[in-house]
């Protein structure tokens, strides 16, 4: 890393010593920026680096709620409003026991550059809680969401900060959160949250958008090599919102998806994942991938405690969580013939895994580029809310297609400009960063 970037990175370590995921995200971005600051010394004069690593505002709050046994529970809530140079803070809420300030800061930091790449006029933010929705009743989830929003509502708004879903936050949670926001504000601010139900302000194709967008991005990558998804064998990890629709779109394009996973293990499904059955097990019954394997039969095998990465395939789409592809996993991918990795999750590959892809000549798309379709479609939902319209599925999907194609091309152009042709990591980081940095320069010292 360039010594001037390194000096700022050291400040992050000194100030936020325990936030290891945040360090990892900053390191990955800064590692790409040497040619950018060489071309734009004004960013150093104006301390853009020091400013961009510091959230504009961090909100941490108590979330007390009562469980079904009448016992009081207390969780911690977060909203990190990271950067508003390009628009209102925008980013999801994650409910998972592993959530802490470092996790939310890494996600918020990634979101700044991802949102810049979408070109939809959205700033970066993220939030969540260490609440675990797994095993909770609907009534418990509702009481938790109401308590969470009873604090969050004073910090958000359609032109201020617009949360959405992420791990553990889907349509059910967004519904409960929206209901409580509306009650407290006495206003139908549809655009305050995205990922809403289709009858009350939601956008068609938002559910599909992240997974579909990841596959569209990978398709554009394949096209640069005159290749396509048709006939390819694909590994997908995760079994939530992103994984399900990545698998669906890959199969629509003629690929065979042979894996899914969750935190208890993975399923090898040699004849191709049955996406309708997966939706039934996960979206309707809130079951596990082991339940899917049992119901699927047809040679499908549940592999307790194992990730999917040792299964032979052509393409890998990690769609579960951060650091789910480590060095040994990446080496297995290389050994088994994977030629392309596109991330549906945020930061699923460790730095050592990324080095392994690069060393082996694997085409690699970082999440901030390839999974931007979800937040981009959230911005389309905000546009529909402002206009009090609902566009058709095909209209939204066509716009998503165009946005993903533009992000892909923007990454390659920036990679050329900054001396790393074909490198999607440098391209995504440089293009996203320059856009935010220029807006910050124009807006003065704020
Ligand atoms: P969901 O909650 O719908 O699904 C999460 C999936 O990942 C589940 O299968 C879950 O398994 C698995 N998972 C979560 N934590 C772990 C873990 N520690 N180890 C192994 N598996 C784990 O979330 P999404 O599908 O929405 O999110 C998946 C990823 O995509 C996240 O990285 C998220 O930040 C990212 N993302 C999401 C977007 C969206 O629009 N939803 C947009 C862009 C990125 P289990 O049930 O066992 O926990
Ligand atoms: O990581 C992400 O981009 C998301 N979870 C989606 C955020 C959003 O505002 O739609």
3-state secondary structure 222-235: HHCCCCCCCCCEEE
Q: How confident is the model at residue 348 (pLDDT cuts 50, 70, 90)?
A: very high
Summarize pLDDT for 100-138 with one digit per residue, the tens: 999 999 999 999 999 999 999 999 999 999 999 999 999
| pLDDT at position 26 | 98
Q: Cα-atom radius of gyration of the chain, to the nearest Å?
A: 21
Distance between CA atoms of residues 375 and 380, nearest Å: 9
One domain, residues 172 and 245: no
Distance between CA atoms of residues 145 and 162, nearest Å: 16
* Opening angle at CA 247, ends 390 and 134, nearest 5: 80
One domain, residues 219 and 93: no
- Ramachandran angles phi, psi of 445, nearest 5°: -85, 90
CB of 318 closer than 8 Å to CB of 324: yes
Average pLDDT of span 267-295:
98
| pLDDT at position 242 | 98
The token duo for 167 is 């791990």
CB of 116 closer than 8 Å to CB of 85: no
| pLDDT at position 84 | 98
Summarize pLDDT for 173-207 with one digit per residue, the tens: 999 999 999 999 999 999 999 999 999 999 999 99
| pLDDT at position 10 | 97
Instruction: Name the residue with the closest Cα to ligand 1, atom 28.
Output: 320
Ligand sitting nearest the alpha carbon of 108? 2
| pLDDT at position 184 | 98
pTM: 0.98
Residue to mutate, 93, 210, 367, ligand 2, most ligand atoms under 8 Å from C-beta: 210
One domain, residues 227 and 275: yes
One domain, residues 143 and 258: no
Q: How confident is the model at residue 223 (pLDDT cuts 50, 70, 90)?
A: very high
| pLDDT at position 44 | 96
Can you name the residues that pair with 267 across neighbouring β-strands? Answer: 260, 302
One domain, residues 103 and 222: no
Query: Could you say which of 126, 182, 282, 435 is catalytic?
Result: 126
Distance between CA atoms of residues 247 and 259, nearest Å: 9
Residue 238 lies inside a defined structural domain of this protein:
yes
| pLDDT at position 233 | 98
Q: How confident is the model at residue 42 (pLDDT cuts 50, 70, 90)?
A: very high
Count of the separate structural domains present in the chain:
2
Please state, as a whole number, how many other Cβ atoms lie within 10 Å of the Cβ of residue 143.
Answer: 19
239 CA: nearest ligand 1 atom: 9
Residue 410 lies inside a defined structural domain of this protein:
no
One domain, residues 162 and 253: no
Summarize pLDDT for 389-399 with one digit per residue, the tens: 999 999 999 99
Residue 134 lies inside a defined structural domain of this protein:
yes
| pLDDT at position 254 | 98
One domain, residues 37 and 185: yes
The token duo for 133 is 């929705």
| pLDDT at position 358 | 97
One domain, residues 28 and 95: yes
348 CA: nearest ligand 1 atom: 32
Residue 254 lies inside a defined structural domain of this protein:
yes
Please give the distance, rounded to the nearest whole angstrom, from the Cα atom of residue 245 to the centre of ligand 1.
12
Q: Which residues, other chains included, contact 305 with Cβ-Cβ below 8 Å and sequence gap of 6+?
A: 264, 265
Please give the distance, rounded to the nearest whole angstrom, from the Cα atom of residue 324 to the centre of ligand 1.
11
Please give the distance, rounded to the nearest whole angstrom, from the Cα atom of residue 52 to the centre of ligand 2.
19
One domain, residues 170 and 97: yes
Please state, as a whole number, how many other Cβ atoms lie within 10 Å of the Cβ of residue 380.
Answer: 23
Q: How far is CA 73 from CA 59, 93, 98, 143, in A?
A: 20, 20, 17, 11
Summarize pLDDT for 59-91 with one digit per residue, the tens: 999 999 999 999 999 999 999 999 999 999 999
| pLDDT at position 50 | 97
- Closest by CA to 310, choosing from 290, 342, 333, 339, is 333
Q: Is 351 exposed, middle or buried (0-12, 13-18, 19+ CB in 10 A)?
A: middle
Instruction: Name the residue with the closest Cα to ligand 2, atom 3.
Output: 375
| pLDDT at position 122 | 98
Q: How confident is the model at residue 354 (pLDDT cuts 50, 70, 90)?
A: very high
The token duo for 239 is 């079994």
Summarize pLDDT for 228-254 with one digit per residue, the tens: 999 999 999 999 999 999 999 999 999
One domain, residues 20 and 152: yes
One domain, residues 234 and 344: yes
Ligand sitting nearest the alpha carbon of 164? 2
One domain, residues 307 and 177: no
Q: Helices marked H in 233-392 — which ranges?
A: 241-252, 275-279, 289-296, 327-335, 351-359, 367-370, 373-387
346 lines ligand 2 (CB under 6 A): yes
Residue 375 lies inside a defined structural domain of this protein:
no
Average pLDDT of span 43-59:
97
CB of 254 closer than 8 Å to CB of 231: yes
SS3 of residue 432 by DSSP: helix
We report the CATH number of the domain holding residue 294 as 3.40.50.720
Distance between CA atoms of residues 168 and 318, nearest Å: 17
- Closest by CA to 201, choosing from 154, 164, 150, is 164
Distance between CA atoms of residues 278 and 425, nearest Å: 32
Q: What is the mean pLDDT of the chain?
A: 98
The bridge status of strand 233-236 relative to strand 256-262 is parallel
Q: How confident is the model at residue 264 (pLDDT cuts 50, 70, 90)?
A: very high
378 CA: nearest ligand 1 atom: 40
Ligand sitting nearest the alpha carbon of 126? 2
- Closest by CA to 267, choosing from 290, 249, 250, is 290
Domain boundary, last residue among 365, 381, 410: 365
Please give the distance, rounded to the nearest whole angstrom, from the Cα atom of residue 28 to the centre of ligand 2.
20
Range of the domain at 213: 208-365
Summarize pLDDT for 184-193 with one digit per residue, the tens: 999 999 999 9
Average pLDDT of span 352-360:
98
Domain boundary, last residue among 189, 223, 242: 189
Instruction: Name the residue with the closest Cα to ligand 1, atom 35.
Output: 345
| Torsion region of 67: left, alpha or beta (phi above 0 gives left; psi -120 to 50 gives alpha) | beta
We report the CATH number of the domain holding residue 151 as 3.40.50.10860
Could you tell me how many helices (H) and strands (E) the chain has, helices first? Answer: 18, 12
| pLDDT at position 296 | 98
Q: Helices marked H in 46-153 — which ranges?
A: 48-52, 101-118, 138-152
CB of 221 closer than 8 Å to CB of 365: yes
Residue 402 lies inside a defined structural domain of this protein:
no
Please give the distance, rounded to the nearest whole angstrom, from the Cα atom of residue 345 to the centre of ligand 1.
7
With pLDDT > 90 as the criterion, what percentage of the chain qualifies? 100
Domain boundary, last residue among 162, 189, 216: 189
Residue 439 lies inside a defined structural domain of this protein:
no
- Closest by CA to 424, choosing from 357, 379, 375, is 357
Q: Quote the DSSP letter at residue 361.
A: T
Q: Is 394 exposed, middle or buried (0-12, 13-18, 19+ CB in 10 A)?
A: exposed
92 lines ligand 2 (CB under 6 A): yes
The token duo for 366 is 């970082």
127 lines ligand 2 (CB under 6 A): no
The bridge status of strand 363-365 relative to strand 72-83 is unpaired
Please give the distance, rounded to the nearest whole angstrom, from the Cα atom of residue 274 to the centre of ligand 1.
19
User: Catalytic annotation on 126?
Assistant: yes
Residue 163 lies inside a defined structural domain of this protein:
yes
Q: Quote the DSSP letter at residue 282.
A: I
């Amino acid at each position: 890393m360039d010594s001037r970037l390194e000096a700022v990175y050291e400040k992050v370590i000194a100030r936020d010593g325990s936030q290891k995921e945040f360090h990892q995200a900053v390191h990955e971005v800064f590692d790409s920026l040497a040619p950018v600051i060489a071309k734009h010394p004004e960013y150093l004069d104006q301390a853009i680096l020091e400013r961009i690593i510091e959230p504009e505002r961090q909100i941490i709050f108590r979330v007390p709620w009562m469980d079904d046994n009448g016992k009081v529970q207390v969780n911690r809530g977060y909203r990190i409003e990271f950067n508003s140079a390009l628009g209102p803070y925008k980013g999801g809420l994650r409910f998972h026991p592993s959530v802490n300030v470092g996790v939310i800061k890494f996600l918020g930091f990634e979101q700044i550059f991802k949102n810049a790449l979408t070109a939809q006029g959205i700033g970066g933010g993220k939030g969540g809680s260490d609440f675990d929705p797994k095993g909770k009743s609907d009534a418990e989830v509702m009481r938790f969401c109401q308590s969470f929003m009873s604090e969050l509502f004073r910090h958000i708004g359609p032109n201020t900060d617009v949360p959405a879903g992420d791990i553990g936050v889907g349509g059910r949670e967004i519904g409960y959160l929206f209901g409580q926001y509306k009650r407290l504000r006495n206003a139908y601010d549809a655009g305050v949250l995205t990922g809403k139900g289709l009858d009350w302000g939601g956008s068609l194709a938002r559910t599909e958008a992240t997974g579909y967008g990841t596959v569209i991005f990978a398709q554009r990558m394949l096209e640069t090599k005159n290749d396509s998804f048709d006939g390819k064998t694909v590994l997908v990890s995760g079994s939530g919102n992103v994984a399900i629709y990545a698998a669906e779109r890959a199969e629509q394009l003629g690929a065979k998806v042979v894996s899914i996973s969750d935190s208890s293990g993975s399923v090898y499904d040699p004849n191709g994942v049955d996406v309708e059955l997966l939706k039934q097990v996960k979206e309707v019954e809130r079951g596990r991938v082991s339940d899917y394997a049992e119901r699927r039969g047809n040679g499908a095998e549940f592999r307790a405690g194992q990730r999917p990465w040792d299964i032979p395939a052509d393409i890998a789409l990690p769609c579960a969580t951060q650091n789910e592809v480590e060095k040994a996993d990446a080496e297995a991918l290389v050994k088994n013939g994977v030629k392309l990795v596109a991330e549906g999750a945020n930061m699923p590959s460790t730095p050592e895994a990324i080095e392994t892809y690069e060393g082996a000549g694997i085409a690699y798309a970082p999440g901030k580029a390839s999974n931007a379709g979800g937040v981009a479609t959230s911005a389309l939902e905000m546009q529909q809310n402002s206009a009090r319209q609902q566009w058709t599925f095909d209209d939204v999907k066509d716009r998503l297609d165009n946005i993903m194609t533009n992000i892909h091309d923007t990454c390659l152009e920036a990679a050329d400009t900054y001396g790393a042709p074909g490198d999607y990591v440098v391209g995504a980081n440089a293009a996203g960063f320059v856009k935010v940095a220029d807006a910050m320069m124009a807006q003065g010292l704020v």
